[in-house]
Amino acid sequence: MAAAEPASSTAAERLLEVSEEEVVIDFKPNAKCRADLRLRSLHPSLPVAFKVQTSSPLKFLVSPPRGAVQPLSSASLRVVLRPQPHAPPSFPRSRADRFLVLSSLSAATLDAAGATDDTSGGGGSGVSAVRLRVFFGGPYLLRLAADAGDASAVRLILRRQPHLLPFLEPPAAAPDAEQWAPLHAAAAAGDAEAVAVLVDMGADTSAADARGRTPLDVAREKGYQEVVDVLERWELVMTAARRGDLPSLESLLGKRAGVRGRDQYGLTALHLAAIKGHCDAVALLAGSGCMDIECEDVEGHRPLHLAVEGGHAEAVELLLDMGADVNARTRRGATPLQMAEAMGYEAIAQLLCDRGAEVAAVPALCVASSSSSSISCA
């Protein structure tokens, strides 16, 4: 759980932590936009009173605006942005909108310390405070930034919300697809840095434009060798991971940029190494910092799920040793233990149980086929 920093070094000892680092608003014009926050009490024995202030009370509502969290328990808040006719004047991060979460063991102390209607208070005796910035994102603003050619805003939104990348992909038959498919456009412009960023954010390098060309085809047609190198590097990483070719992986990862791509099913090189049981490749990919050990494909399978599916106990144990979530769930709710039990892998199931896996009923599972990388239901 990520916790925002206290408002000042002189504030009281923190009584609450906020799971979100920012208030993330998926903006839509003329519509109520909501964001949820979760507070967690850090006090072992007494309820913690809280109060939420905003610098923009005419724009935002908070429900509930105040309350109490029981010892070592959690509470949810909902932030609502009132309907706005126009996009924020500055986004993704707002320069003017802020929230302040005040907390104390006494509600009366909160009222005395946080009597203002802005976010300048919160440093009084016995009161701790957490400041939160506002991040405006969502598909509408992502497309708005892309259409305006604002690469910085596009990059910030995708870094914060990488799941939005498909919203930048054009319809299959769009006549102007080459103009606004980001990876194709970056390849056509010869912008190797932008290509590397988009690949590392998970852009589908196999996607075709309206003329059936992949970004690699476009770069080759235009003779942009640096772009070709980035795109081919990703394909070589995937191939080396699938084969467990450690020397090639080490060489490719040394070049860093453009190695964290995904195929059309959302599979990364780490997924491929895990499902094949290549422990050295898994250790290299996960330990290098290039790839997140909890990365998900389009069905929510993490590398641990695929190591289980492949029946590779050593890879399962390695991923657990590296911090993989033993109770991670796919989008259909399947855990690694449920997959192991459904597939009859008793030794792996026992290993997962020994590492703290929760026992539950086995749902219908979606597993990734290791031979074709397509998704099928078992």
The pLDDT value given to residue 374:
36
In angstroms, the CA 13 to CA 104 distance is: 10
User: Is residue 242 in some structural domain?
Assistant: no
In angstroms, the CA 51 to CA 104 distance is: 9
The pLDDT value given to residue 257:
61
Q: Is 127 exposed, middle or buried (0-12, 13-18, 19+ CB in 10 A)?
A: buried
Q: Residue-wise over 289-298: b if at least 16 C-beta within 10 A, else e?
A: ebbebebbbb
Number of domains observed in the structure of the chain? 2
User: Is residue 347 in some structural domain?
Assistant: yes
Of 102, 117, 137, the residue at which a domain comes to its end is 137
User: Is residue 82 in some structural domain?
Assistant: yes
HEC letters along 137-204: ECHHHHHHHHHCCCHHHHHHHHHHCHHHHHHHCCCCCCCCHHHHCHHHHHHHHCCHHHHHHHHHCCCE
The pLDDT value given to residue 174:
41
The pLDDT value given to residue 195:
81
Task: Find out whether the peptide bond into 92 is cis, omega within 30 degrees of 0.
Answer: yes
Of 137, 170, 187, the residue at which a domain comes to its end is 137
The pLDDT value given to residue 1:
42
Do 319 and 303 meet the contact criterion of CB atoms below 8 Å apart? yes
In angstroms, the CA 336 to CA 326 distance is: 7
User: Is residue 165 in some structural domain?
Assistant: no
User: Is residue 316 in some structural domain?
Assistant: yes
- Pick from 229, 161, 160, 222: nearest CA to 195: 229
pTM (2 decimals)?
0.54
In angstroms, the CA 92 to CA 155 distance is: 10
In angstroms, the CA 36 to CA 81 distance is: 12
In angstroms, the CA 153 to CA 50 distance is: 34
156, 76, 299, 264: CA torsion to nearest 10: -10
Encoded amino acid at 14, one letter: R
Residue 54: give its domain's CATH number. Answer: 2.60.40.10
- Pick from 148, 150, 211: nearest CA to 184: 211
- The parts of the chain modelled with pLDDT lower than 70 are 1-12, 113-125, 149, 151, 166, 168-181, 256-258, 360-378
In angstroms, the CA 4 to CA 277 distance is: 38
Of 92, 117, 137, the residue at which a domain comes to its end is 137
- Pick from 349, 347, 369, 368: nearest CA to 359: 349
Residue 347: give its domain's CATH number. Answer: 1.25.40.20
DSSP 5: P
For residue 64, give its domain range. Answer: 16-137
User: Is residue 73 in some structural domain?
Assistant: yes
Strand partners, 130: 6, 101
Q: Give the helix ranges, DSSP H, for 265-335.
A: 269-276, 279-287, 303-309, 313-321
> In this predicted model, what pLDDT tens digit does every residue of 199-212 receive, in sequence order?
877 777 777 877 88
- Pick from 97, 104, 94: nearest CA to 126: 104
The pLDDT value given to residue 31:
95
User: Is residue 157 in some structural domain?
Assistant: no
DSSP 4: P
> In this predicted model, what pLDDT tens digit does every residue of 42-51 receive, in sequence order?
999 999 999 9
User: Is residue 99 in some structural domain?
Assistant: yes
In angstroms, the CA 144 to CA 246 distance is: 42
What is the layout of strands, in order, in the sheet containing 33-41?
16-18, 33-41, 74-81, 60-63
Instruction: Say if strands 128-137 and 22-26 run parallel, antiparallel, or are unpaired.
Output: parallel
End-to-end CA distance of the chain: 33
